[in-house]
Amino acid sequence: MNKLSRRSFLRSMGMAGAGVALAACAAPAAPAAQESDGEMDGGDGMTGNLQIWVQHYTPTESMEQGPNNPLPHNMIQVISDEYMADHPGATVEIIRKPDNLASHEWIVTQQAGGTIPHIVWTHSFWVQDEIDKNWWIPLDPFFEQPNPYVGAGEPGSERWLDQFYEIPTEAKRGPDGKHYVVPIDLVTTFFFFNQNVFDEVGVSGPSTYGEWIEVQEALQDTIIPNAALRWYQSQIGAMLYAKKDDIINADGGVASLEEVGCAMKNGLYTATDPEYGEWFRLVKQLIPYLAPDWAAEGADFNRKFLQKDVAVYEDGSWRFGYLKADPLVDFEWSTFYAPTITEADSPFAIGEAAPPIGGATAAQWAMATKTERDGIVPLAVDFLRYVTAPQNAGRMIAETGTFLPNIKGVDVNPDLREPLRAITEGLGEAGMVTYPDKIGTEQREKIDAIWTDFKLDVVSQEQAAEQINELLLEYADEAIEKNGWDCG
């Protein structure tokens, strides 16, 4: 497979503008279900009561569009009803999570109480810390079997895993090398900006870090330049560590958890590196241009952008669909890609564009071990195959227009075909040593808090580096021992 360079990706992102939006895409015609010798064939015999919680795809309580419901959707219900009609012995119940509970908190509580739905949206980086709890079923044996709902000769007809784009899907493997989630769709990130304000001030979307500083300087007398610092922080780190990529990730593919953990253990990736020190410096330089409450929990940066309180809002590709659908958006908007750190900005940079953030980090559906206890693994697997068949996944993903497909054969808006190609053919965050998903949840959350303290001047750079380094080494030691990694 040819890889798309980071520089090529930056060029490809130049097309993203005010008119670019994830539109509803026509789903391909449904092929007839085919026979298979696999144990989990679809068709008759699938019985039981299957509970699912699918996060973003959970049907809205109303199908009437309005300011508080800009993207009404119920396609997963439609697909579930169709499945039940074809499988009279099966019942699919869509579970609603209470809005006031954080997703992971709710999942942990439901798992502990034995009340978890059978199919659950969850992050693979949560699952990687929960493998020893026996909460999730490895999916690899099922991935190796055919998907009976895919037409003969199409990807997935002989091996279910072949339906999914290889690079983002491989990045979902846990530290034991197994898949625990079905990665249905993809995301990437952009800087969304108020085109009217940019025109008024006389600036345009920046392409380099230095230009980004200049744009924010020009904006700050008129408006708050930027809502918050989000994924770009990790991209800054990736650009500064680019010279070490060939050492840490020698094969040039997905930066595995083992490679990153060993880099920490062997002193190639530590918070006392000069590259990490430069990372601190460049991030700190961006803080004065952010909204005053950038660190506040629950701050609604999207609302700030819609109300024209800030000029720029870094967000995911899902924002295209919401902005296009929102009747209250009364200004022109456009996007720019993560500004490149050039050699003029930092001696550690090589001048290549940042790896694209994103990949299969949106709809990640796992199968809880409760499914085994309830004796409905065949039903759960069959339903997952039914939903991920292109004719069904295409309808579900296209309904809201907020995510890109991670399933071959599902169409995407022509304006976003290049970003989709970049994510599926290039490495993106899967190749980033500096991406937070590459370490354990406990250490990741603590490191994030230390970064926040540093940006708020609660701790010095030296203190932050020392604290972060301890956590990196703590994670590396734990992961190396637990997984038997060889870091020699």
Which CATH number is 194's domain given?
3.40.190.10
194 has which bridge partners? 333
Whether residue 274 is contained in a domain is answered as yes
Whether residue 96 is contained in a domain is answered as yes
Work out the average pLDDT over 255-280: 95
Can you tell me which residue has the tokens 């075909």? 417
* CA-based R_g, the chain, Å: 23
Co-location of 341 and 375 in the same domain: no
Residue 310: band (very low, low, confident or very high) from pLDDT cuts 50, 70, 90:
very high
119 has which bridge partners? 52, 367
Residue 28: band (very low, low, confident or very high) from pLDDT cuts 50, 70, 90:
very low
pLDDT score at 44: 52
- From CA 192, how far away is CA 336, in angstroms rounded? 7
* Contact partners, residue 457, CB within 8 Å, separation at least 6: none
Q: Torsion over CA of 43, 158, 395 and 403, rounded to 10 degrees?
A: 140
- Structure token pair of residue 22: 């994830």
pLDDT at 34 over 50: no
Contact between 137 and 368 (Cβ < 8 Å) = yes
SS percent in the chain: helix, strand, coil, step 5? 45, 10, 45
Tell which residue, 283, 337, 335, 338, has the closest CA to residue 305.
Answer: 335
pLDDT score at 413: 65
CA of 473: how far to CAs of 188, 238, 247, 270, 272, in Å?
30, 19, 19, 8, 12
pLDDT at 345 over 80: yes
Q: Note the pLDDT tens digit of each residue in 427-463.
A: 677 788 898 888 988 999 999 999 999 999 999 999 9
Helix axes 274-286, 441-455, angle to 10 degrees: 60
Share of the chain above pLDDT 90, in %: 69
Contact between 49 and 383 (Cβ < 8 Å) = no
Strand order in the sheet with 181-183: 90-94, 48-53, 119-121, 364-367, 181-183
Mean pLDDT of the chain: 87
- Phi, psi angle pair for 144, to nearest 5°: -80, -10
pLDDT at 250 over 70: yes
Tell which residue, 274, 277, 237, 244, has the closest CA to residue 259.
Answer: 244
Co-location of 69 and 101 in the same domain: yes
pLDDT at 113 over 70: yes
Q: Label residue 290 exposed, middle or buried (CB < 10 Å: 0-12, 13-18, 19+).
A: buried
The SS3 of residue 95 is: coil
- Structure token pair of residue 483: 């997984």
49 has which bridge partners? 91
pLDDT at 383 over 60: yes
Residue 29: band (very low, low, confident or very high) from pLDDT cuts 50, 70, 90:
very low
Structural domain count, the chain: 2
Work out the average pLDDT over 277-291: 98
Helices and strands (H and E) in the chain: how many: 20, 11
Whether residue 106 is contained in a domain is answered as yes
The SS3 of residue 224 is: strand
pLDDT score at 7: 33
Q: What is the pTM of this model?
A: 0.73
- From CA 485, how far away is CA 83, in angstroms rounded? 43
Residue 38: band (very low, low, confident or very high) from pLDDT cuts 50, 70, 90:
very low
The 10 Å Cβ neighbour count of residue 481 is 9
Parent domain of 440: 188-358+433-483
Q: What is the maximum span of the chain, computed from C-alpha positions, in angstroms?
A: 68
The SS3 of residue 37 is: coil
Whether residue 5 is contained in a domain is answered as no
pLDDT score at 73: 95
Whether residue 7 is contained in a domain is answered as no
pLDDT at 351 over 50: yes
pLDDT score at 323: 87
Whether residue 476 is contained in a domain is answered as yes
Co-location of 398 and 455 in the same domain: no
Judged by phi (left if over 0) then psi (alpha if -120 to 50, else beta), residue 134 lies in: left
Co-location of 296 and 204 in the same domain: yes
Contact between 403 and 185 (Cβ < 8 Å) = yes
pLDDT score at 16: 36
CA of 479: how far to CAs of 37, 268, 272, 439, 466, in Å?
39, 17, 21, 9, 20
pLDDT score at 272: 95
Co-location of 172 and 224 in the same domain: no
pLDDT score at 100: 87
Q: In terms of pLDDT, which residue wins out, 190 or 289?
A: 289
- Phi, psi angle pair for 189, to nearest 5°: -120, 155
- Structure token pair of residue 198: 């940019």
Work out the average pLDDT over 415-425: 69
Co-location of 172 and 229 in the same domain: no
Share of the chain above pLDDT 70, in %: 89
Co-location of 307 and 243 in the same domain: yes
pLDDT at 295 over 90: yes
Co-location of 206 and 163 in the same domain: no
- From CA 19, how far away is CA 415, in angstroms rounded? 9
User: How many residues appear in the chain?
Assistant: 488
Q: Note the pLDDT tens digit of each residue in 182-234.
A: 999 988 888 999 999 999 999 999 999 999 999 999 999 999 999 999 999 99
Q: Where are the alpha helices (DSSP H) in 74-163?
A: 75-86, 103-113, 124-127, 140-143
Whether residue 3 is contained in a domain is answered as no
Contact between 348 and 278 (Cβ < 8 Å) = yes
Co-location of 288 and 158 in the same domain: no
Q: Note the pLDDT tens digit of each residue in 61-101.
A: 999 988 788 889 999 999 999 999 999 999 999 999 998 89
404 has which bridge partners? 186
Q: In terms of pLDDT, which residue wins out, 307 or 251?
A: 307
Work out the average pLDDT over 296-321: 92
Co-location of 198 and 285 in the same domain: yes
Helix axes 377-388, 390-400, angle to 10 degrees: 70
Q: In terms of pLDDT, which residue wins out, 325 or 156?
A: 156
Tell which residue, 421, 437, 476, has the closest CA to residue 234.
Answer: 437
Co-location of 87 and 231 in the same domain: no
Whether residue 120 is contained in a domain is answered as yes
Co-location of 200 and 314 in the same domain: yes
pLDDT score at 153: 96
